[in-house]
Each structure stands twice: as structure tokens, then as C-alpha cells.
Amino acid sequence: MTTALFSHPDCLGHVAPPGHAERVERMQAIETALSGTGFAALDRREAPLAEREDLLRVHPESHIAAIEAAIPTDGWVALDADTNVMSGSLTAALRSAGGVCAAVDAVIAGEVANAFCATRPPGHHAEKTTPMGFCLFGNISIAAKRALDVHGLHRVAIMDFDVHHGNGTQDLLWDEPRVLFASTHQMPLYPGSGNPHETGAHGNIMNVPLPPGAGGVQFRKAMEQQILPALEDFAPELLLISAGFDAHSDDPLAQLEFSVEDFAWVTSALCDLADRHCGGRVVSTLEGGYDLDALAASVAAHVQVLMERGK
């Protein structure tokens, strides 16, 4: 068994306006980082386009149609102050959602031990009817619902360690008792959600905010004392990761102080949990991370752990 890497050149076709943080160069930095001989064993697969029925498990038809209608032939259209679309954006977004769905299929089928999706745009800010925060569709939520409704799983856990709260994931899965969504994130910070009292309709959401300046010590304490025990109690049959690397100390969009070693540690801890409860089945997908060097090094460390655990 091995680790699958899902990606697609179409994700480079979503070109942000000049000066935008969520840019093509993010993918290029990751591609370079994962091109070395240490990553030769990766099972590299093309991310397919998401099927409409997968999108419809979390978004209404009106949301999908509105994004389709907004795509311009030339230039950009601003969906909000941070989120822009151009001619290649819809295809890229469908690859992002389709890639994590295909990764779930491959891991559940036993074709690979685990998977990482190097795709963009990210997804964890997209709410049911609102694209925002660089995100068009709720990729990780779409994948969770596919695991439940297509593959018949009963319990799926999502861990989001992006520096920004996954308000979209929370919104899309608020009423879904079969999913436990856990998040660490900086607070206060965009998008302003993620307070501990936001626990979901079934107690299925766990938010553990961290103050500006918090580093690996605080992060590991939050994981060890709160999130990992909750995940243990939930005993997921599949573990999904919203892997944002913008909590790194060099990232320009926030003020947490994580290191590359912290991302490797949390990956290992989550893989340990997956080994105990779900046969090691882990699917991770890229969210944030905007300093190119920090992003490349953090993704490489994350994928190295997945590869070691997938042997």
C-alpha cells in the first residue's frame, strides 16, 4: 500500500488577480516540493471533476447555478471582497471537490493507505449558499457526505488545523450527527466564527480557538487535552483533514507561530488515531498556506508522514 497524491493541471487555471494571496504559485511550490526522489513512491493520480450529485449533498442547486453563471469569459468577477472567479475557476473548483471525493473512494476501496489532495481553490469557508474566503464549494464536507451516503460509513471525523476557522464546513455539517468536525484556529481572526459554544445541532462540532501568538506548545496541548480525546470517543471509520498550513510562523495572513515540526507531529498523531479506529484510512486536502517556502516545507513534512504510515 502507498499514499496517493491527487492533483490536476486545471487547478493552475484558476488565476487570482495580481497581489492575491491564493495564487497559482502555491500549487507550483507544492509540486516542486513533492518532485524529489523522496516522494517517488507517491501514487500520483489526476483529480476528476466532481459530479453534480456530490455537490448537491451539501449545496443547493441555486448555489451551484449562481457560481456557474458568475464565471466570466474575460477578466475577473468578485463574489466578495476576497473571492474572485475567472474563466478557469469553475473547472479548478470542480477538480478540488472531485479530487477529495476520488481520494475517499480510493482509500475506502483499499487501493491506497491514505491520500493527500494538492488542489485549489480551497473549500472550508464555502457555506451552503455563500462562496467566501477564496472558496467556492465545501470540498471536505462534500467528501464526508460521499463517504457516508455512497460508501455507507456511519462515522466520519474531520480535523481542520488551518489558521482560519472552517466556517463553511461547520455550516454544511451543523445538522449532520454522523460527522464530528474539530477545529483549531486563531481567534480573533477572519471569518469571526469558531467560538467554543458553537457545538452543532448534535454536539458534533468542537472548536478550540487559539490566541494570536500561540505556537506549537499551545497547539499540542489543545490537541492532546481536547480534540484527540473527542476523536477517540467518536471512533471514526474514516478521518479527513482540512490541511491548512497558514498557522506557520512565517505566514503573512495570521499570527500563530507553528513550525514545520508541529504539522508533522499533528499528522502523526492523527495517523495514530486512524490506525486505532479506521485501519489507517486518512484523506487530507489542502486549504490555506500563503508563504510559499513555509507552505512547501510544511506540505512536504505532512506528506512524508502520510507516506511513512502508509507503507
Q: Which residue numbers are catalytic? A: 125
**Grid cell for residue 158:** 474531520
For residues 212 and 236, the answer to whether their CB atoms sit within 8 Å is no
Provide DSSP, 131-153: -BTTBSS-HHHHHHHHHHHTT--
For residues 202 and 175, the answer to whether their CB atoms sit within 8 Å is yes
Q: What share of the chain is helix, strand, coil (3-state, %, to 5)?
A: 40, 15, 45
SS3 assignment, position 61:
helix
H/E element, 286: strand 282-286
Name the residue type at position 215. Answer: G
For residues 146 and 109, the answer to whether their CB atoms sit within 8 Å is no
Rounded CA-CA distance 224/127 in Å is 29
H/E element, 250: none
For residues 286 and 242, the answer to whether their CB atoms sit within 8 Å is no
Among 111, 121, 126, 170, CA closest to 14: 121
Residues 2-23: b if buried by 16+ CB within 10 A, e if exposed:
bbbbbbbebbbbbbbeeeebbb
Among 25, 43, 100, 56, CA closest to 285: 100
